[in-house]
Amino acid sequence: MIKIEKLHKSYPIGKDSLHVLKGIDLHIKEGEFVAIMGSSGSGKSTLLNIVGLLDTHDEGIYKLNGQVIENLDETKAATLRNKFLGFIFQSFNLITYKTAVENVALPLYYQGMGRKDRQKVAMKYLEKVGLKERANHLPNELSGGEKQRVAVARALATQPKVVLADEPTGALDSKTSHSVMELLKDINREGMTVFVITHEEDIAEQTDRIVRLKDGVIISDEKVNKTVTA
Amino acid sequence: MFDLDRWREIFQAISKNKLRTALSGFTIAFAILLFTLLFGVGNGLKHTFEKQFAGDSQNSIYINSGRTTKPYKGLQSGRGIQFRNDDSKFINEKFPDKIQYFSPNIQRSMQVIYKGEQNRYTVRAVYPDYQPLESAVVEEGRFLTYLDVERRSKVVAIGRLVEKDLFGNLSAIGKNLNIEGISYKVVGVFSDPGGDNDERFIYTPFSTFQGMYKPNDELDYIGMTFNPDLNVDQAIAFSNLLTKMLKEKHNVDPRDQGAIRVRNYAEGTKNVQSFMMVLNVIILFIGIGTLIAGIIGISNIMVYIVKERTKELGIRKALGATPKSIVGMIMMESIFVTALAGYSGLMIGVFTLKALGKSLEKYFILNPSVETYVVVGATIVLVIAGTIAGYIPAKRAASIKPIVALNDE
Ligand SMILES: Nc1ncnc2c1ncn2[C@@H]1O[C@H](COP(=O)(O)OP(=O)(O)O)[C@@H](O)[C@H]1O
Ligand SMILES: [Mg+2]
């Protein structure tokens, strides 16, 4: 599903440039549930954004669903994101003036789905995350956990192949974190590839595979042994 | 464009973001309102001037004679020029198609008596054509006729105020006035939009006075109107040629300004027209200034709006919005808001002008109004400006990387 070879990324900082990803090799198969761990500034978000086509890489090869990503124009990138990818962000990134159900329906709008169908599908996913009753509330009327569940519903609405989550529980307390992780596990069980950034060990351990990043290189990549605690 | 779903998105964005909608809408509405009011007031000023000068007979020409101020062809300066009946004939024969009304004139200030009442009035001996020349309006009886002229009748048409002075509330028609010892019958009373002075004139047939107060073929001056089909420049050219020919006829130096004086009202019209043009230019400048201010305002606001929405645009991009759909959304919103606001500004302006119309008359502003095409044009200009102003930042926002937009705070 995701194949990355010798990927490099630098950010220009004034005259210098900051080398953030220094040759990443990573292969994620369809249906995997992968966590990326690493200290702050190690390049986790950068990697996820490149995978999510929100940013571009400088060197190396990136293949998404068999398609080589290179010199992609924004229109094509937008279409690919809409079709294959769902996003969950630490800061939720809901549109403030849209209700929960309207937020969930938005990616379907960009897919060209009719209004009635959008409404129906969005309601279905809100129900799935347990927020059917809150459908017509604005984001600022929802708790952090609820907002993130709306974001999960929105990520799922287009039935993407890959769900990318950048510290989805970073702004939540442990109880709501748990419910969001349960949702991600559910999604994964249904066959979606889930790629989640976290710096919390107990979150990472709920996934199948942990990739550790340090200073822009992968220092370890191992399957999680469900019976053993690290 | 007529995608209902798309409009729904836009209406939601407009109605849920009232501040920014109000901001851009207000700028446009205010610019158009100001534009309409300024234009309306300017037009009001114009109307006042138009009316002021339309009161007089706009196409009158008066020809007076005096003494030469320059020696010419062996003749000395200081020679008096006397117009005669053959000058009337000469003018009418040379310019038959340039002349509308024509009348020679003998004018005296005379003592007029009716029973116990008496007063001094200007008595003018004229042709019937003099009536339209003065734009006099017959109130009672009739004006002079060519039959009166032919018969050298001792009849008079008197101004409304002459009647009032001498007859009080009684009618003057059919009564006899004693003018310096000779009795004249009043055949008509007229009013004159020219004001009090013009309503204290007394008119009598030209032929009645000629021979009696003036040697047989002499006259004092000539009044006429030029053919109204002539435009201002043609009329001035006509009177210039007429002046030249009369000077030639009377052996007057072409540069002599004293001997023969031709006063063409078209010159005044031309001055008024020049003044109007200056006024128009001023109005135009103010109008363009207002529009430019509006354009700058809406440009700034569009930049602000797009900046404020950057994060939202980033979210939309992450969810699959193409650059084209982003640009389209911002533009349509901008066009919709500016068009609606422009229309309201226009309507408020037009109604304000209507409401204020009468009360501004004391400030020399008459019937302040704007031509529809002018305000509609101005509104369209602003809408287009708003569109272009929206396009540039929208395009920029659409082309930045989604991650940059998402991280915007
Ligand atoms: N747009 C950017 N411009 C410049 N530097 C950036 C940018 N985004 C991230 N960085 C830098 O790149 C490094 C890696 O950032 P990031 O991938 O966000 O790390 P993480 O998510 O692991 O905390 C950090 O030092 C960060 O400051
Ligand atoms: Mg990060």
pLDDT of B54 over the 70 cut:
no
Nearest partner of A53 among B401, B166, B263, judged by Cα: B401
* pLDDT tens-digit map of A199-224: 889 899 999 999 999 999 999 999 98
Question: In the Cβ-directed half-sphere of B323, how many Cα atoms lie within 13 Å?
Answer: 17
Are B8 and A87 inside 8 Å of each other by CB?
Answer: no
Which pLDDT score, from 0 to 100, does residue B354 have?
83
CA of A41 to the centre of ligand 1 (A): 6
- Distance CA(B290)–CA(B41), nearest Å, equals 14
Q: Tell me the per-residue pLDDT of B231-242, one tens digit each, with 9 for 90 and over.
A: 888 999 999 999
What lies within 8 Å, CB to CB, of A115 at 6+ separation is B5, B8
Ligand 2 (ion): residues with CB under 5 Å are A 45
Beta-strand relationship, A2-13 and A162-166? unpaired
Domains and CATH numbers, chain A: 31-56+73-223 (3.40.50.300)
Query: A41 CA to middle of ligand 2, Å?
Result: 7
Residue B272 has pLDDT above 80, yes or no: no
Is the distance from CB of A60 to CB of A23 less than 8 angstroms?
yes
What does the alpha-carbon distance between residue A160 and residue B260 come to, in Å, rounded to a whole number? 100
Q: How large is the average pLDDT for residues B315-332?
A: 91
**Ligand 1: does its nearest atom lie under 6 Å from the Cβ of A44?**
yes
Q: A142-187, pLDDT tens digit by residue?
A: 999 999 999 999 999 999 999 999 999 988 888 889 989 999 999 9
More confident residue, B285 or A214: A214
Q: What percent of chain B has pLDDT over 70?
A: 98
Helices A74-84/B323-356 angle, 10° precision: 110
Give the angle A94-A55-A200 at the CA atoms, nearest 5°: 65
Q: Which residue has the higher pLDDT, B257 or B358?
A: B257
Shortest Cα–Cα distance, B398 to chain A (Å):
9
Torsion of CA A128, A130, A134, A135, to 10 degrees: 0
Helix then strand count (H, E) for chain B reads 13, 12
Q: Which residue has the higher pLDDT, A123 or B282?
A: A123
Q: How confident is the model at residue B6 (pLDDT cuts 50, 70, 90)?
A: confident
**Cross-chain Cβ contact A56/B401 below 8 Å:** yes
Position B271 confidence tier, pLDDT thresholds 50, 70, 90: confident
Using the 8-state DSSP alphabet, how is residue A143 labeled? -
Residues of B in contact with A56 (CB under 8 A): 401
Is the torsion defined by CA of B376, B379, B381, B387 positive or negative? negative
CB A151 within 8 Å of CB A89: yes
pLDDT digit string (tens) for A19-53?
A: 999 999 999 999 999 999 999 999 999 999 999 99
* pLDDT at B382 (0 to 100): 80
CA nearest neighbour of B286 among B363, B394, B214, B374: B374
Query: Which protein residue's CA is at the shortest distance from atom 13 of ligand 1?
Result: A41
Residue A107 in contact with ligand 1 by CB distance below 6 A: no
> For chain A, where are the alpha helices, taking DSSP H only?
44-51, 74-84, 100-111, 115-128, 144-157, 174-189, 201-204
Q: Which of A97, A98, A111 lies closest to B320 in CB terms?
A: A111
Cα dihedral angle (B187, B193, B196, B201), rounded to 10 degrees? -30
Is A78's CB within 8 Å of B12's CB?
Answer: no
CB B316 within 8 A of CB A54: no
Do A83 and B320 lie within an 8 Å CB cutoff? yes
Confidence of residue B295 (pLDDT cuts 50, 70, 90): confident
Rounded Cα distance, B262 and B66, in Å: 11
Asked if the Cβ–Cβ distance from A74 to B399 is below 8 Å, we say yes
* Spatial CA neighbour of B260 closest among B100, B103, B83: B83
Which atom of ligand 1 is found nearest the CA of A12? Answer: 4
Lowest mean pLDDT among B78-82, B262-266, B375-379: B375-379
CB < 8 Å to A79, chain B: 320, 322
pLDDT at position A229? 47
Which residue from B39, B30, B28, B33 is spatially nearest to B382, judged by alpha carbons? B28
Rounded mean pLDDT, B98-113: 94
A90 close to ligand 1 (CB < 6 Angstrom): no
Q: Which amino acid is at B271?
A: N
Is the pLDDT at B161 greater than 60? The verdict is yes
Give the pLDDT of residue A96: 92
Q: How many Cα neighbours within 13 Å face the side chain of A112? A: 3
Query: Does residue A103's CB lie within 6 angstroms of at least one atom of ligand 1?
Result: no
Neighbours of A126 (CB within 10 A): 25
Q: How confident is the model at residue A54 (pLDDT cuts 50, 70, 90)?
A: very high
Please check whether residue B272 is in contact with residue B49, taking contact to mean a CB–CB distance below 8 angstroms: yes
Report the residue from A75, A96, A114 with minimal CB separation from B322.
A75
Residue B51: the pLDDT is 67
Model confidence band, residue B53 (pLDDT cutoffs 50, 70, 90): low
pLDDT given for residue B1 in this prediction: 46
Write out pLDDT tens, residues A78-136: 999 999 999 999 999 999 999 999 999 999 999 999 999 999 999 999 999 999 999 99
DSSP secondary structure letter of residue B74: T
Q: Please name the helix (run of DSSP H) or strand (run of DSSP E) that holds residue B352, with its range, or none.
A: helix B323-356
User: Which candidate, B353, B302, B399, places its Cα nearest to that of B21?
Assistant: B302
d(CA B262, ligand 2 centre) in Å? 94
Helix (H, G, I), strand (E, B) or coil at B351: helix
For the cut 90, the answer to whether the pLDDT of residue B36 exceeds it is no
pLDDT confidence of residue A20: 95
Neighbour-count burial of B244, counting CB atoms closer than 10 A to its CB (0-12 exposed, 13-18 middle, 19+ buried): middle
Supply the DSSP symbol for A61: E
Given A79, A95, A158, which is nearest B315 (Cβ)? A95
Q: How confident is residue B294, by pLDDT bands cut at 50, 70 and 90?
A: confident
B301 band by pLDDT with thresholds 50, 70 and 90: confident
What tokens does B142 get?
């009739």
pLDDT of residue B57: 64
Secondary structure (DSSP) of A150-168:
HHHHHHHHT--SEEEEEST
pLDDT, residue B154, reads 95
Interval B68-83: pLDDT, tens: 999 998 888 889 999 9
- Cα(A47) to ligand 2 centroid in Å equals 9
Distance A213 CA to ligand 2 centre (A): 12
